[in-house]
Structure 1
């Protein structure tokens, strides 16, 4: 129905930078008013910060219909209100554009300010950023793994493999690309086209969409990349050549220089650069990320020869990574000491401030002279500007306490004077009118959503040259990359100086997928509750009772892990590698959330490890999994459960490796065989992982595991048997 993305542009009239949310609507079908506003809300929620304006683009007939929907007073007011905070319109304009065969036509502008339109947009430049979004979200560019390079059919050797066929993953995206191809062409090229040459049939649908848009019946001929490119010559009838991808521009250059094709009639969909190329380039990778340029440089690496268009992450068996000392998170020990036992709530129980969705934490009270207070005192003295006279804190008690302590220390450092402290929910232009410098504090931050909101508010309320410092007690981002993006967003401004940024502890905790292990368990409980199963070797009454027991066990473990076979909770023994001596002689007091935090952050450290062989990160050439040895090394039942829950499904997929699948098969057979002993205490967790599809073996291995396990426990109903039957029913 629509394709939306976020773009950055510059107003052509004022030369001010603006954030734009652009939504392109596919006009193959009619769109109702409810669908229209639903798409707008979804697009708006995809922004980290509120955009300055929104741009709606559609065909001539559809844009008129969308304008009618927009003119509905109730729905329009409801949506416009979403862009208002503290009586300030953050979304200042809504632009409607009609995309016709001859180009883009401005259809309507709705301004939320009384003075009329404030922005003059370069809509062509905004639309071109949609291609950047497609390249980034659709995995168009594959990078060779460490120590390897690709040898392309042209003979070019570099670390990039571009799959132009992956540009579009939906009909709106396909329609969008087709129209941008047309936008690249001069009118003299579009008129009376008779034939279009393409280098691969994988881009046929893009070209067909472009021809349909201009009403052309030109035939499409594939010359199969470098195999037949030397055989084609410029036809006497009007033509066009569309090349899927290139890293050097070699094919377009050959067609132009050697075979005398008109460069106006040469279009490359994806290329490393648009500079020094024959013909036009739809997407230039060096404008998306300058680091791509370095990937064209090669040294003495193993060559991977590309044959054809297909390239799979399972081109070779997955690489297994074993967690160990190299994966110890840098700040884990300090974080565990800081929060200690009392700082953790139960798993999946929301509590403010929240570090992650699964884990909720409460920082301890600041005490004069403790480790945190000494860090705060030093940071105030050494890093925070003396001109700061206003402290803004995120809206929670822990951050308020941190702000009050920072106020006292800052007053001491300045030799007196009052420092105003205010919640972020109460700031506005009038409150901050006399501020000479602002310190923003939060006790605990995840990926920094609240800090981004405060930063955006401050852009509206105060002069950008006003000194500003962001201070974070503990950062629990999903990844180092997410934290770097937050820091970059908060530090950069319109001046050549950067705003200050401080954080005592930063501990990446791993990705928070909406389809995580606990959600998968919830869906499994729903399935167990309504599913009717039969098994040739298990009595019907035992099957029914076992499914009911499985449902009960899954509900009982909704905020933790599945219990042992006897109903007792999974436990941790002394000697956990990543705890070191933090909880020495107190291991029974450690909450489940602390154990999960340690294991999840260790796995994230493995994903971000700088040593290629120890890195738990797949490439386009190689997938990666947790080594079966990890379940032997971390043999406490609760650690095995944490491994299963904290892993991504791809990291537990052993189906592509006969060797690893066999190792897991042998391990699981022993676990299910000893389900009533400490060795197999996590048997229900492994059975549930198989039943949800998060843990995968080769089909023959998985069938053997389930067959033996079911035979071993089929004598009496149990939750474990119910989970095994559900796994067998997949």
Structure 2
């Protein structure tokens, strides 16, 4: 293997067979949101060597790779296996260097831990009592990451290096919640060495060491400790059960420096290039400052390390929860038709073309000022991303340079696709300016960056982005750092005009409107089977009309309409003095403007550390029902219902909040003011789809209140009838 630095994606193939089609699908899904590598490694276990080799050489898989990566310099597929000593070698037996092996496992371990949230993070108002009885506001729970068999086997394969040359007859775990890892390790040892399969037993952490549980102290015993922040259990095992330190391994660790031989993966910030968790303190009960602040405690209990019974807390939303960027951004774009909503998993679409035309006030002016300040007069090439707005931005930059006497010929404006798909020759000298209207994942920019390494080596590059919309500041910063990085370190310029932080939509399979359309299709199919009275026919027509509205790429009216006393529909509109805006938009704000605002507020609240945020682990916060009284505009209520995650509207485990929510919806239903009841159809949709969850007695009360609504002939009536008959299951004799 050569020493050049390469970007590598590793697909781990567990003992179960993986077809070329399945492998291709996994890789395609993975590369939908990340930059493309130089190589793709197919990694398996040594006794599966032939299968791994066949998969890497499978022509169907090789043919698919250019389609989901790139046609120029297509990543090569290479087969590797993990051997009995935990090393990695090619299928023909050529061993990789130990640092490479360590890097493969470290990147994989950290990726698995991060993907499955292996750290319980206490939020304001409570903290943990760990099995050691010490108090902390964090707790590492390895069982959270042991979800999938292939990932468990990968972690077990990483442990093989730590037991190389050692006979292992007994594996002890500190918690039965990680016995799956012990069993996977035992399976690998038996398969690869031909040894007798080791036994796997849990000694139940500190509590178990105080019991009469027997641990054989000889050299054939090996202890797996799920996680640690101090190494205290290592000392306890050694002193009370004579299990030496070289017979123990901590799977995940965060804390002060500890011997590398004791730790499989150190996640501590600064401990290695992958460490990302700052060390956190723990205290003896009598010395706990969190207890002094009257914070509640959550006891991590039992052999499974499970938190005590959950509690649910209602969270009020206020203007202090809005992110600092929101009001200035919305001042520029609200009412301008710049924010629209689409079907699919990309909910928001920001039409930067309208901003570039000068319609967005200060935002438009900032873009113009940034072009004047950051676009070099020495620019020779412009590379816009392939969307229309990025191409408009490139045209604007061309015009700016022309005013400076710098003419960029049309053949020096190159599409990103032409660079990344291999249809362009190397560029001559001069500055390349890569322009993007809106950046979400940054994948397209990173692919251009990679192509320019070959087509424009050792030449200046400047990246210009009008709007970066990522889940948080950290993701935006990481992207900017990656783009700036070159052969000589941070050498390229990256300029971003505006940043906004909204949820990562790649994690959502479909938008709220996709889910609405699928649900209404089910309702329509049900109604079509009923006797077609005039009332039922009108309900069906109303549903089909809404389904048709949801077929296009964009959604016009985001929310179901209100209905006045005469049965006429009206669109939900924002009334003056919206709490989260310090301005009154002209022309009037769209539903998309309000939905974007409330989505951003909830997203900021979920990621807040300064107060009880909207999170769900064992103790979670939901939207307090009183929010729907505080924000009584129908368009704001509908935005909250659509933007909230399901658990944030789950009142089914708290009787008081469930009844409070039922009362608020009931009051809206019976209000004589159409404005006060305008979101009623949205409440019904949320109840029917399970987005809004109440206790059974309150669902029964709701069903009773909706009896007269269900007798109508509009869409709201169809939803009310579905809720009563299907969701609540009102007996037939009570339905009329």
Using the TM superposition, give the Cα deviation of residue 169 of structure 1 relative to its aligned residue in structure 2, in angstroms: 0.9
Match of 2:7 in 1: 19
Native 8 Å contact 1:389 1:438 kept in 2: yes
How has the CA–CA distance of structure 1 residues 628 and 108 changed in structure 2, closer, same or farther, with 3 Å as cutoff? same
Match of 2:521 in 1: 526
Structure 1 residue 713 corresponds to structure 2 residue 709: yes
Match of 1:200 in 2: 175
| Match of residue 571, structure 1, among 573, 580, 584 | 573
How has the CA–CA distance of structure 1 residues 473 and 218 changed in structure 2, closer, same or farther, with 3 Å as cutoff? closer
Native 8 Å contact 1:242 1:268 kept in 2: yes
Native 8 Å contact 1:158 1:296 kept in 2: yes
Match of 2:444 in 1: 450
Deviations 1:530-563 (A, max 9, x none): 33799xxx99969955863563364155232212
Secondary structure in 2 matching 1:89: coil
1:637-648 alignment, distance < 5 Å: 637-648=634-645
Structure 1 residue 122 corresponds to structure 2 residue 132: no
Structure 1 residue 264 corresponds to structure 2 residue 264: no
Distance 1:128 1:703 in 2: 53
Match of 2:722 in 1: 726
Match of 1:581 in 2: 583
Deviations 1:159-202 (A, max 9, x none): 32111222221222222233333332132233xx1x33222222
| Match of residue 471, structure 1, among 450, 464, 473 | 464
Match of 2:733 in 1: none
Secondary structure in 2 matching 1:296: coil
Structure 1 residue 225 corresponds to structure 2 residue 205: yes
Distance 1:119 1:180 in 2: 15
How has the CA–CA distance of structure 1 residues 603 and 71 changed in structure 2, closer, same or farther, with 3 Å as cutoff? closer
Match of 1:4 in 2: none
Native 8 Å contact 1:522 1:555 kept in 2: yes
Using the TM superposition, give the Cα deviation of residue 609 of structure 1 relative to its aligned residue in structure 2, in angstroms: 4.7
1:144-155 alignment, distance < 5 Å: 144-146=122-124, 148-155=126-133
Using the TM superposition, give the Cα deviation of residue 313 of structure 1 relative to its aligned residue in structure 2, in angstroms: 9.7
| Match of residue 492, structure 2, among 491, 499, 521 | 499
Match of 1:598 in 2: 597
Match of 1:99 in 2: 82
| Match of residue 186, structure 1, among 159, 164, 173 | 164
Distance 2:260 2:387 in 1: 58
Match of 1:625 in 2: 622
Q: What is the number of residues matched between the two proteins?
A: 689
Deviations 1:566-587 (A, max 9, x none): 3333233333334443424x33
Native 8 Å contact 2:573 2:635 kept in 1: yes
Match of 1:41 in 2: 28
Match of 1:280 in 2: 262
Structure 1 residue 244 corresponds to structure 2 residue 239: no
Native 8 Å contact 1:327 1:609 kept in 2: no
Native 8 Å contact 1:20 1:52 kept in 2: yes
Match of 1:212 in 2: 187
| Match of residue 351, structure 2, among 337, 353, 361 | 361
How has the CA–CA distance of structure 1 residues 550 and 247 changed in structure 2, closer, same or farther, with 3 Å as cutoff? farther
Match of 1:3 in 2: none
Native 8 Å contact 2:398 2:407 kept in 1: no
Native 8 Å contact 1:392 1:424 kept in 2: yes
Native 8 Å contact 1:266 1:278 kept in 2: no
1:130-169 alignment, distance < 5 Å: 130-146=108-124, 148-169=126-147
Using the TM superposition, give the Cα deviation of residue 661 of structure 1 relative to its aligned residue in structure 2, in angstroms: 1.8
Secondary structure in 2 matching 1:442: strand
Distance 1:65 1:155 in 2: 48
Distance 2:359 2:631 in 1: 39
Distance 2:397 2:702 in 1: 58
Using the TM superposition, give the Cα deviation of residue 713 of structure 1 relative to its aligned residue in structure 2, in angstroms: 1.9
Match of 1:300 in 2: 289
Match of 1:253 in 2: 235
Distance 2:238 2:314 in 1: 44
Using the TM superposition, give the Cα deviation of residue 507 of structure 1 relative to its aligned residue in structure 2, in angstroms: 2.5
Native 8 Å contact 2:24 2:65 kept in 1: no
Distance 1:55 1:594 in 2: 45
The normalised TM-score by structure 2 is: 0.83
| Match of residue 543, structure 2, among 551, 555, 560 | 551
Secondary structure in 1 matching 2:277: helix
Native 8 Å contact 2:300 2:307 kept in 1: no
Structure 1 residue 57 corresponds to structure 2 residue 43: yes
Distance 2:225 2:279 in 1: 23
1:304-323 alignment, distance < 5 Å: 304=297, 305-308=299-302, 309-311=304-306, 315-323=310-318
Which runs of 5 or more residues in structure 2 are unaligned? 191-195, 728-736
Distance 2:109 2:336 in 1: 48
Native 8 Å contact 1:446 1:477 kept in 2: yes
Using the TM superposition, give the Cα deviation of residue 43 of structure 1 relative to its aligned residue in structure 2, in angstroms: 4.1
Please report the RMSD computed on the Cα atoms of aligned residues, expressed in angstroms: 3.8
Distance 2:230 2:666 in 1: 53
Native 8 Å contact 1:330 1:507 kept in 2: yes
Deviations 1:200-249 (A, max 9, x none): 22222221221122223333333221123256565357222222222111
Secondary structure in 2 matching 1:572: coil
Native 8 Å contact 2:385 2:416 kept in 1: yes
Match of 1:5 in 2: none
Distance 1:499 1:527 in 2: 53
How has the CA–CA distance of structure 1 residues 225 and 684 changed in structure 2, closer, same or farther, with 3 Å as cutoff? same
Match of 1:399 in 2: 390
Distance 2:482 2:459 in 1: 16
Using the TM superposition, give the Cα deviation of residue 19 of structure 1 relative to its aligned residue in structure 2, in angstroms: 2.0
Which moved further from structure 2: 380-389 or 595-604? 380-389
Distance 1:644 1:725 in 2: 20
Secondary structure in 1 matching 2:575: coil
Using the TM superposition, give the Cα deviation of residue 276 of structure 1 relative to its aligned residue in structure 2, in angstroms: 2.7
Secondary structure in 2 matching 1:301: helix
Native 8 Å contact 1:249 1:277 kept in 2: no
The normalised TM-score by structure 1 is: 0.83
Secondary structure in 2 matching 1:79: helix
Distance 1:119 1:249 in 2: 29
Distance 1:201 1:173 in 2: 18
Secondary structure in 2 matching 1:452: helix
Native 8 Å contact 1:356 1:476 kept in 2: no
Distance 2:222 2:657 in 1: 50
Distance 2:542 2:710 in 1: 14
Secondary structure in 2 matching 1:571: coil
Native 8 Å contact 2:622 2:650 kept in 1: yes
Native 8 Å contact 2:230 2:256 kept in 1: no
